[in-house]
Amino acid sequence: MNSTIPSQTTLPWLWRLPALVYRSGALIISLLLIGLIVLLSGASPIEVIGRMLVGAVSTPDQIGRVVATLSTLLLCAAGLVYTFNAGLYNLGVEGQVTFGAIATTFVLRLLYPEEATASLLPPPLTIALGILAGALGGVLWGLLAGALHVYGRISEIFAGLGLNFAATGVAIYLIFGPWKRPGVASLSGTQPFDESLWLGTFGQTEATPVGLGLGLLALLITIVVMRNTYFGLRLRAVGKNQYAAHVLGVPARQQLLSAFFICGLFAGLAGAIQVVGVFHRLIPNISSNLGFLGLLVVMLVNFDPLWVLPVALFFSALNIGSLQLPLSLGLESSLAGVIQGLLVLFALLGRGLAQRYAAS
Amino acid sequence: MGLFACATAGFGLRVKVELQHIHKRFGPVHANDDVSLTVEAGTIHGLLGENGAGKSTLVKILSGFITRDSGVILLDGRPAHIRSPADALRYGIGMLHQDPLDFPPLTVVENFMAGSPSTPPILNPRAAEREFRRWCARFNFDIDPHAQVGDLTVGERQQLEIVRLLANGVGTLILDEPTTGISASQKTLLFQTLRRLADEGKSIIFVSHKLEDVEALCDRVTVMRRGQVAGELDLRPLHAGAQQASSHHPEIAARIVELMFGRALAMPTKPPTRRDEVVLSIEGLVLRSDRLEIRVDQLSLHRGEVVGIAGLEGSGQQLFLTACAGLEPPAAGSIHIAGHNLTHRPYADFLRAGVCYVPADRLREGLIAGLTIQEHVALRASGRHFFIDRAEVRAEAERAIAAFNIRGRPDTYVERLSGGNQQRTQLALLPAPLSVLVMEHPTRGLDIESTLWVWQQLIARCQQGTAILFASSDLDEIVQYSDRVIVFSGGRVSPAIPVAELDVELLGQMIGGRF
Ligand SMILES: Nc1ncnc2c1ncn2[C@@H]1O[C@H](COP(=O)(O)OP(=O)(O)OP(=O)(O)O)[C@@H](O)[C@H]1O
Ligand SMILES: [Mg+2]
């Protein structure tokens, strides 16, 4: 190509700084803005950050919650690494989590009917089948989004959002309809499962070894696949330039569908863990919005799975720690959302500026 | 004073352009290394050089698209402060890019009015149209003011852009490789126009890879090599001696080539490589896009044969090539490869049958920006194993880089390579053996040496039995390397004509629709 896009090169030299400057500059600005917002809400930024982090690790109970959040978040983020690298904004991850949870609940109810006093199969087997069903449910919802995108030529963003609504709708219908609690139907969800169907935990906390193990395993597999396999390379090729990848002989559709498949699988597992490990029943917001948080994590690390673990841990701690803010400082716990949102927004801005203006 | 004094410089005044000790680095690449160049008012100055020599960088610095690291620009002896294209335009410097920048869906007049610094706050389309017609009449340009810019040919867009710049008071006109993709008659008109502008006192910089063009048109020529000026030649005696300006001068050409590459170049000769066996055969093919429909009744390609496709750009060549490669399904008709009917079969079957497509738009269709050379190599090898053997892939990439003389490393991102090296990379990625190679503009934008080298590789492929089907806007290239030629003209397709019955002139007439 002989011409450059003029706006890329018309900036005075002052603007042409190394890419790192843009990226770290964006990070610093976002931190300053966060500080400012905290100040405006009448607290000291240092105190707030301190309370949040302390709040996250103050008691074993709190640590357990952080780990439980982290487990689900890791599953979602690992799945999203595939779709992002394939060039897809899979906003449907929330619906995939939800539908996974629905599928898990369905199987558990099947194997442990309401009137029964014990599971029809040994409880561990019941749990395992429930988790498997969750994975399949997520895959189904993921492939549905994939088919709409690949064959129906619908933007994966809209397909995903639509399917999110659908999944939540199904969940609420079930909670208020066929699966309602004996006597009262309420937003608090279905009748909790018998304790024999709860996943074992670390001590008395909410964290489950199975959940954490699945999250870490999913991430590990993802790192290996993205860095060391032809499959990961083909996925990136399709994500960067679908037509050229096709011309070079990469089966683009198949790759896109695989990305939806894997993301659905991991998200469905996340939904299953939310049911058998965290809430022990189906509730309307079973995902706790961790699918969306996963999107932020993966965007913040620039789709590189290697950095997912620390960022996911940080975000999980913020999420749990911020729950302490209303009690200790009289602040809204939604501050965690503001902080996470700003960080990602500015990280994306920094990357965009670096791509546009940075001296090569 | 500065700006306003200069704003009028374009009108009537003769501007001498001097670039002194220009430096520009892109990371480790010293793209302009102490370059000095003087363009006298009223002359056409050619700028030649191998791919990556730094020609575009230099003219983009002058036209404000790139900021220099150091060095001085003098206009009529006074330093000019150029930091953006708008600055340059105020000094009366305008540039035509090789690939026209993307045009919004505007009409010709709207485009003509847009972007002028002297635009009054209220646009007057009728006055603009009158003005536009006046300029066109002056240069014998024939452009419908109400046509959509997107529907113009490359040559017409170029004419529109020249007129727009002149109306903006440009006194220094820069053209970066302006003769690719335009018809022979448009080229003649362009040269007449440039000559006239020079005679009026404007200074013109003409960047090109085509020696004949530079010889025919330019008063002086500067040759660049690896970021530096390799030498300068005065071509005026040559025009003075022979009145018919287009006559070829092998001695001068040889000297320029020496300056460009440091040695003389040998033309590859194409031995007869055609075999009896038919490898690609097409019957009753009908292809449709939203703009045109083309029909190819019958075509058989033999192993080792080269068939060139000539025609104005946008006459359906791309449609035809992508159909032959299996990327576009035909509306009717059949395609057989090596005796197998592959009509409406998936692209993967074409690949398996040894058909390969090399598109013209290297970075948008052929290679994947954001991936490295070795990742491309791995991508081609993909499918045999699950895990990538990094050492193996790296070694493979290094072999390809050495064999194809690519200036880059295995971990160089392809978008960082110069055009010539991107094309070398595309060729390096082609699998062997290959039955049919379908190429669009195989040497567009490549310097002479790279062009010769590419054809050497292609001829070697033919000797191994590969049939080549290629489209090009360079008629010399078509006549030199093809066994047979097909002409696309206004939706019509000629039968394949043996090249012995053709010459460049006849071909030009056929492209104009006479067959
Ligand atoms: N934006 C950029 N970033 C990094 N390197 C660049 C950039 N633009 C040009 N270069 C490098 O600078 C050198 C000179 O490039 P330039 O485009 O000026 O060459 P050229 O003489 O116009 O070549 P061609 O005949 O291929 O158009 C090349 O090595 C090229 O790779
Ligand atoms: Mg150039």
Residue pLDDT, tens place only, A296-347: 899 888 899 999 999 999 889 988 888 877 777 777 777 777 887 888 888 8
In A, minimum Cα distance to B178 occurs at: A2
Can you tell me the distance from the alpha carbon of A132 to that of A92, in angstroms, rounded to the nearest whole number?
20
What rounded mean pLDDT belongs to chain B?
Answer: 86
Q: Which residues pair with B413 in a beta bridge?
A: B372
Can you tell me the distance from the alpha carbon of B158 to that of B179, in angstroms, rounded to the nearest whole number?
10
Q: Which H or E element spans position B203?
A: strand B203-207
The answer on B225 and B187 residing in a single domain is yes
Give tens-digit pLDDT for B129-182. Answer: 888 899 899 998 988 888 888 777 778 888 988 998 888 889 999 999 888 777
Give the β-pairing of B203-207 and B44-49: parallel
Look at residue B5 and tell me if it is in a domain.
Answer: no
Q: Which residues pair with B332 in a beta bridge?
A: B286
The answer on B299 and B439 residing in a single domain is yes
Q: How many domains does chain B have?
A: 3
Indicate the pTM of the whole model.
0.82
Can you tell me the distance from the alpha carbon of A130 to that of A123, in angstroms, rounded to the nearest whole number?
10
| Residues A243, B177: C-beta atoms closer than 8 Å | no
Give tens-digit pLDDT for B501-510. Answer: 888 888 888 8
Can you tell me the distance from the alpha carbon of B197 to that of B203, in angstroms, rounded to the nearest whole number?
8
Which residues neighbour A173 within 8 Å (Cβ) at sequence distance 6 or greater? none
The percentage of residues in chain A with a pLDDT greater than 70, rounded to a whole number, is 93
Contacts 24+ apart (CB under 8 A), B489-496: B489/B311, B489/B312, B489/B315, B489/B513, B489/B515, B490/B315, B491/B292, B491/B293, B491/B294, B491/B315, B491/B316, B492/B294, B493/B294, B493/B295, B493/B296, B493/B316, B493/B320, B495/B297, B495/B298, B496/B299, B496/B307
Tell me, what's the pLDDT at B6?
A: 42
Longest distance between any two alpha carbons in chain A, whole Å: 76
Look at residue B359 and tell me if it is in a domain.
Answer: no
The answer on B95 and B178 residing in a single domain is yes
Tell me, what's the pLDDT at B120?
A: 58
The answer on B307 and B198 residing in a single domain is no
Look at residue B222 and tell me if it is in a domain.
Answer: yes
When pLDDT is cut at 50, 70 and 90, the band that residue A188 belongs to is confident
Q: Could you tell me where the DSSP H helices lie in A151-241?
A: 156-176, 209-228, 230-240
| Residues B370, A241: C-beta atoms closer than 8 Å | yes
Q: Which residues pair with B486 in a beta bridge?
A: B309
Chain B hits for A247, Cβ within 8 Å: 327, 357, 359, 365-366
The mean-pLDDT minimum among A114-128, A317-331, B92-106, B435-449 falls in B92-106
CA of A67, closest CA in chain B: separation in Å?
32
Give tens-digit pLDDT for A157-181. Answer: 999 999 999 999 999 999 998 998 8
Does pLDDT of A5 surpass 70? Answer: no
Cβ–Cβ < 8 Å for A127, A199: yes
CA angle in degrees (0–180, nearest 5) for B120-B121-B126: 60
Can you tell me the distance from the alpha carbon of A208 to that of B90, in angstroms, rounded to the nearest whole number?
69
Q: Please give the average per-residue pLDDT across B241-245, as a whole number.
A: 51
In the reported structure, the alpha carbon of residue A242 is separated from the centroid of ligand 1 by a whole-number distance in angstroms of: 26
- CB A2 near ligand 1, within 6 Å: yes
CA of B437, closest CA in chain A: separation in Å?
13
What are the boundaries of each domain within chain A? 61-306
Can you tell me the distance from the alpha carbon of A48 to that of A39, in angstroms, rounded to the nearest whole number?
10
Which two tokens mark A328?
Answer: 């200790």
Tell me, what's the pLDDT at B2?
A: 37
The answer on B418 and B468 residing in a single domain is no
Q: Please give the average per-residue pLDDT across B386-392, as a whole number.
A: 91
CA-to-CA separations, A250 to A230, A319, B363, in angstroms, rounded: 11, 40, 16
Which residues neighbour A42 within 8 Å (Cβ) at sequence distance 6 or greater? none
Which residues neighbour B190 within 8 Å (Cβ) at sequence distance 6 or greater? B155, B158, B159, B178, B179, B182
CA torsion, points A333, A334, A335, A336, in degrees to nearest 10? 90
The answer on B401 and B294 residing in a single domain is no
Look at residue B28 and tell me if it is in a domain.
Answer: yes
Q: Please give the average per-residue pLDDT across B326-336, as a whole number.
A: 93
How crowded is residue A116: how many other Cβ atoms within 10 Å of its Cβ? 10
CA of A74, closest CA in chain B: separation in Å?
24
The answer on B489 and B408 residing in a single domain is no
Can you tell me the distance from the alpha carbon of A145 to that of A95, in angstroms, rounded to the nearest whole number?
10
Give the β-pairing of B436-440 and B355-358: parallel
| Residues B379, A13: C-beta atoms closer than 8 Å | no
The mean-pLDDT minimum among B64-78, B249-263, B297-311 falls in B249-263
Chain A to chain B Cβ contacts (< 8 Å): 110
Tell me, what's the pLDDT at A7?
A: 32
Give tens-digit pLDDT for A273-292. Answer: 999 999 999 999 999 999 99
Look at residue B151 and tell me if it is in a domain.
Answer: no
Tell me, what's the pLDDT at B247?
A: 55
In B, minimum Cα distance to A238 occurs at: B368
What rounded mean pLDDT belongs to chain A?
Answer: 87
Chain A hits for B429, Cβ within 8 Å: 248
Look at residue B127 and tell me if it is in a domain.
Answer: no
Q: What is the ipTM of this complex?
A: 0.85
Name the region of B291 (left: φ>0; alpha: ψ -120 to 50; beta: rest): alpha
Q: For residues B430 and B236, which has the higher predicted lDDT (pLDDT)?
A: B430
Tell me, what's the pLDDT at B484?
A: 95
Q: For residues A206 and B6, which has the higher predicted lDDT (pLDDT)?
A: A206
When pLDDT is cut at 50, 70 and 90, the band that residue B99 belongs to is low
The answer on B443 and B496 residing in a single domain is yes
Can you tell me the distance from the alpha carbon of A203 to that of A57, in angstroms, rounded to the nearest whole number?
16
Give tens-digit pLDDT for B444-480. Answer: 888 888 899 899 999 999 999 999 999 998 888 999 9
Q: Which domain holds residue B453?
A: 265-354+432-515
Tell me, what's the pLDDT at A8?
A: 34
Does pLDDT of B123 surpass 70? Answer: no
> Chain B within 8 Å of A295 (Cβ-Cβ)?
no
Look at residue B120 and tell me if it is in a domain.
Answer: no
| CA–centroid distance for A247 within its chain | 33
In A, minimum Cα distance to B346 occurs at: A251
| CA–centroid distance for A297 within its chain | 8
Domain-ending residue, one of B237, B261, B285: B261
Q: How far apart are the first and last CA of chain B?
A: 60
Q: What is the CA radius of gyration of chain A?
A: 22
How crowded is residue B275: how many other Cβ atoms within 10 Å of its Cβ? 14
Domain-ending residue, one of B405, B430, B455: B430
When pLDDT is cut at 50, 70 and 90, the band that residue B420 belongs to is confident
Task: Tell me which of A247, A253, A355 to substitute to probe the interface with B (most B C-beta atoms closer than 10 Å).
Answer: A247
Which residues neighbour A314 within 8 Å (Cβ) at sequence distance 6 or greater? none
Please provide the DSSP assignment of B222-243 as one string. Answer: EEEETTEEEEEEE-HHHHHH-S
The answer on B205 and B183 residing in a single domain is yes
Give the β-pairing of B172-176 and B228-234: unpaired
Q: For residues B104 and B355, which has the higher predicted lDDT (pLDDT)?
A: B355
CA angle in degrees (0–180, nearest 5) for A125-A185-A112: 15
Look at residue B152 and tell me if it is in a domain.
Answer: no
The answer on B335 and B382 residing in a single domain is no
The CATH-assigned architecture of domain A61-306 is Orthogonal Bundle (1.10)
> Chain A within 8 Å of B60 (Cβ-Cβ)?
yes
Which residues neighbour A131 within 8 Å (Cβ) at sequence distance 6 or greater? A104, A210, A269, A272, A273, A276
Ligand number with the minimum distance to the CA of B49: 1
The answer on B289 and B251 residing in a single domain is no
Domain-ending residue, one of B261, B280, B309: B261
Q: Atom 26 (ligand 1): residue with closest C-alpha?
A: B51
Does pLDDT of B277 surpass 60? Answer: yes
Give tens-digit pLDDT for B179-198. Answer: 877 777 888 899 999 999 99
Which residues neighbour A29 within 8 Å (Cβ) at sequence distance 6 or greater? A346
Chain B hits for A233, Cβ within 8 Å: 375, 378-379, 382, 388
Does pLDDT of B10 surpass 80? Answer: no
In B, minimum Cα distance to A355 occurs at: B370
Give the β-pairing of B306-311 and B467-471: parallel
Cβ–Cβ < 8 Å for A191, A113: no
Q: Please give the average per-residue pLDDT across B438-445, as a whole number.
A: 90
Tell me, what's the pLDDT at B241?
A: 57
